[in-house]
Amino acid sequence: MTRNATFSIFNIDFQRKGSMAAVGVLAAVLCALAFLGQSVALAQTTSATLTGTVFDASGAVVPGAAVTLKNEASGDVRSTKSNGEGYFTFAAVPPATYTLSVEKENFKKWTTKSIMLNSDDKRNLAGIKLEPGAAAETVVVEASSVQITPTDSGEKSTLINEHIMQNVAIVGQNAAEFVKIMPGMAMTGGVLNQSSYSATDERTGGNHPVGSFSANGTRTGALDITSDGAHIIDPGCNCGQAMNTNPDMTAELKVMTSNFGADEAKGPVVISAIGKSGGQQFHGEAYVYARNWHLDADDPQNKDAGLLPNGTPVAPKPKTRYFYPGFNIGGPVIIPGTQLNHNRDKLFFFYGMEYYKQDVDNGVYQFFKPDQSQWADLDECLPAAQLGPEPSRNARLQLRPSGYAVFQHAAGACARRLQPQPNTEAVCLLQPSA
């Protein structure tokens, strides 16, 4: 017998008080369904798949064996049983390090630890052999003796794990910068012989690794990036990132360059970033990254430009300063006085933040305000009567690297050498001194 349930939202009388309550309940249900269904709507695959076959000591398959996969960080446990051919599979497994256990009556328990599964991995675990014995006995297999191989994939990819991100220095604070250490990644500075990515500005919408590198000879627009399955590239130009992947909050980067599966909706080159998550224990860190122009090496071209008559460099070293303090913490969600998540294996959190303090000296955002004596020089150049009562509206002062100031006005133009001499070219409105 089949029962059909019909749910309709159209036959509601809004004049009745009870109907308004029904509308509220309906809205809550729809919001809950949308929230639960959001993981299905992700365009990119971030989970892994682990398979294997259980054998006995003679090489025969063992059906009905209980197979358990435990997350070593969170304690999350997944269970299944081998089928009639001894085969088992775990699908949609979050990237993490796992312990696998296999149990069967009249056989010793078989366990292997430190199985690392990364984003979009499809791995097969070989070498599972159960020995006859009591169930209380356990055979622990070292990870080095267990073969974990890719299955049914010609994917060409490189994994940049947390160990690399914590021990390899980068210039900025964007984990995607690590792609520059990979083979096949090339700068796109062209004939200028300069870096296409200098990490001088860490704002979203600024200069980013995505859009600055060519992968295997492809154009820069071929490089794409996702964060936990969400597409974070700028859709307007298909170039820069709309969100930074902070290296202190990223667990891994997987760079797929060719032959990956159709479940990856973007390409032809995809960077898949996976964020950190909480576990059974509380972990956190506080840090400060600082860069100051006093410690920077000067560009040889700046030195070759020479000095001005007053001894100052024609092209001085940019006075750029970076200050990035931050922290992150993760662990189980626990409410004191309650039994919520008392085993620390159901609900976890991870929170991190970083403050970007950037003073970028790019030679543009500068101004020069003449002092009283320099105003007097300009008054001699163009009498005050010609300037009018509000010179800031109809006059401008253009500073030249040579140390001269070209004063332009509707009544004419003249030049005066100003001290101290400006070291860059800028256009400023004249403002009467107080």
Q: What per-residue confidence (pLDDT) applies to 133?
A: 85
Q: What per-residue confidence (pLDDT) applies to 233?
A: 85
pLDDT (mean) for 89-101: 93
Identify the weakest region by mean pLDDT among 10-24, 341-355, 359-373: 10-24
Residue 192 has pLDDT above 70, yes or no: no
Give the C-alpha separation, 349 to 35, whole Å: 18
Give the C-alpha separation, 107 to 130, whole Å: 6
Identify the weakest region by mean pLDDT among 26-35, 175-184, 200-209, 254-263: 26-35
Q: What per-residue confidence (pLDDT) applies to 425?
A: 39
Residue 350 has pLDDT above 50, yes or no: yes
Give the C-alpha separation, 214 to 74, whole Å: 38
Q: Is residue 45 a contact partner of residue 264, using CB atoms and an 8 Å limit? A: yes
Q: What per-residue confidence (pLDDT) applies to 369?
A: 57
Query: Can you read off the two tokens belonging to residue 83?
Result: 């089928």
Q: What per-residue confidence (pLDDT) applies to 204?
A: 58
Q: Is residue 385 a contact partner of residue 391, using CB atoms and an 8 Å limit? A: no
pLDDT (mean) for 188-204: 67
Residue 417 has pLDDT above 70, yes or no: no
Q: What per-residue confidence (pLDDT) applies to 100?
A: 95
pLDDT (mean) for 173-189: 86
Q: What per-residue confidence (pLDDT) applies to 198?
A: 73
**Burial class of residue 153, CB neighbours in 10 A (0-12, 13-18, 19+):** middle
Q: Is residue 250 a contact partner of residue 275, using CB atoms and an 8 Å limit? A: yes
Q: Which residues, at least 6 apart from 167, have a Cβ–Cβ distance to it below 8 Å?
A: none
Residue 145: which pLDDT band, with cuts at 50, 70 and 90?
very low
Our separate counts of H helices and E strands in the chain read 6, 24
Whole-number percent of the chain with pLDDT over 70: 66
Span 207-227, pLDDT tens digits: 778 888 888 888 888 888 999
Span 230-252, pLDDT tens digits: 888 877 776 778 888 999 999 99
Span 296-326, pLDDT tens digits: 888 888 888 888 777 888 888 888 899 999 9
Measured from the Cβ of residue 382, the count of other Cβ atoms closer than 10 Å reads 18
Q: What per-residue confidence (pLDDT) applies to 5?
A: 38
Dihedral-angle region of residue 417 (phi above 0 means left; psi in -120 to 50 means alpha; beta otherwise): beta
Summary mean pLDDT of the chain: 75
Give the C-alpha separation, 164 to 167, whole Å: 5
Cross-strand bridge partners of residue 352: 328
3-state secondary structure at position 353? strand
> 198 or 42, which is more confident?
198
Q: DSSP secondary-structure letter at 97?
A: E
Span 9-52, pLDDT tens digits: 333 333 344 444 544 545 555 555 555 444 444 446 788 999 99
Span 45-72, pLDDT tens digits: 788 999 999 999 999 999 999 999 999 9
